[in-house]
Amino acid sequence: MKVFVYSIHEFDKPFLEIAAKGKHHLMFTEQPLNEDTAIMAKGCDAVAIFTSDSASTKVLDKLHELGIKHIALRSVGFDHVDLKKAKELGMKVGNVPEYSPNAIAEHAITMILALNRKIISANRQVRDYNFKINNLIGFDLNKKTVGIIGTGKIGAVTAKILHGFGCKILAYDIEQNEYLKKYLNVEYVDLNTLCQQSDIITIHCPLNEQTRYLINKINIALMKDGVMLINTARGAVIKTEDVIEGLKTNKIGSLGIDVYEKEKGLFFEDHSNSIMKDVMFTQLLSFKNVLITGHQAFLTNEALQGIADTTIFNLDSWQADGVSKNDLI
């Protein structure tokens, strides 16, 4: 297949090229897919896109006009694709349903540990030869209550790791995982109870119409004073504006985010020589108890290998049979 690959990065290009084994003609651009760049895919059968791309109604119309029949997502999440429109247009959309849930779960845990033990401040102080530790007090994770929102593949691995720390685990999900209940003593509760009882809340559900702004001022008000909130899922699952208010009043004691609701056009690029126009983001950066990474939770060799292999598998399947087991529609 002739495939136009949008938003390619140095970190994923070699994995894709090796996985393709010369079977497909891959053409690359660092540019994201949008209404202006859709035209670049002219003459191709498929596009391969990343979370920073937009496959909105208008973009899909353009791709369809150009004869694109397949959209290979290099991600688990598909909130950046208008699936209803793609179906109407008869396009195939396939994702990477699982690559390494460990990568993302481990990143969430990294954030919990770094925030709790104030690792960033500690390192900064030591580099300044300031060895006073008065401001670096953390807490034992052992016996703390952690609320996991979304206990799918990533949430389940997160639960396993936290169980090892001796945490009590509460969970909120529209489907319960019997294994987690039986073997890790995970207790499913409603969202309000999870918010009320958790010392740490970590989010692992997809972004969809039900989960947009799932965490907002109403349930932040229910949370324990000083709660730690971690989001490695999608930015808009939390209402950032409300979380900032929670940080200002110390209701939220610390925040770790790998995703940000306005990350499109910001993350995955070097903006170090431009003026930051996103006031909400600069506000987040002003808090010492906020840790931000730029959507890198998936960035392990194992995950990149998995993404590349499944993306190529989807293209192979479409070429051979017209369908893939990872088709979303």
187-188 sheet: strands from edge to edge: 187-188, 168-172, 145-149, 200-203, 227-231, 252-257, 290-292
- Encoded tokens for 277: 């126009």
Nearer CB in complex with ligand NAD: 27/113:
113
Q: Does residue number 297 form part of the binding site for ligand NAD (CB under 6 A)?
A: yes
Nearer CB in complex with ligand NAD: 46/205:
205
Q: Are strands 252-257 and 168-172 parallel, antiparallel or unpaired?
A: unpaired
Q: Does residue number 232 form part of the binding site for ligand NAD (CB under 6 A)?
A: yes
Instruction: For residue 234, indicate whether it is catalytic.
Output: yes
Q: How many CB atoms lie within 10 A of CB 190?
A: 10
Minimum Å distance from CB 155 to ligand NAD?
6
Instruction: For residue 212, indicate whether it is catalytic.
Output: no
Whole-angstrom Cα distance, residue 52 to residue 147?
Answer: 28
Q: Which stretch binds ligand NAD (CB under 6 A): 36-44, 87-95, 148-156, 265-273?
A: 148-156
Query: x/- contact string, 42-81, with ligand NAD (CB under 6 A)?
Result: ----------------------------------xx----
Which residue is nearest to ligand NAD, using beta carbons?
A: 152
Q: Which stretch binds ligand NAD (CB under 6 A): 25-33, 131-139, 173-181, 248-256?
A: 173-181
Nearer CB in complex with ligand NAD: 34/202:
202
34, 53 Cβ separation under 8 angstroms: yes
Instruction: For residue 263, indicate whether it is catalytic.
Output: yes
Q: How far is CA 29 from CA 5, 6, 47, 53, 164, in A?
A: 6, 5, 11, 12, 43
Q: HSE on the CB side for 191, CA within 13 Å?
A: 17
Q: Does residue number 295 form part of the binding site for ligand NAD (CB under 6 A)?
A: yes
Nearer CB in complex with ligand NAD: 44/205:
205
194, 201 Cβ separation under 8 angstroms: yes
Q: Does residue number 150 form part of the binding site for ligand NAD (CB under 6 A)?
A: yes
**Residue of 328, 274, 267 whose CA lies nearest to 51:** 267
Element (H, E) at 240: helix 240-248
Q: Does residue number 211 form part of the binding site for ligand NAD (CB under 6 A)?
A: yes
Residues 2-21 contacting ligand NAD, CB under 6 A: none
Q: Is 25 helix (H, G, I), strand (E, B) or coil?
A: strand
Q: Does residue number 101 form part of the binding site for ligand NAD (CB under 6 A)?
A: yes
Write out the residues near ligand NAD by the rule CB under 6 A. 76-77, 101, 104, 149-155, 172-175, 204-207, 210-211, 232-234, 258-259, 295, 297-298
Active site residues: 234, 263, 295
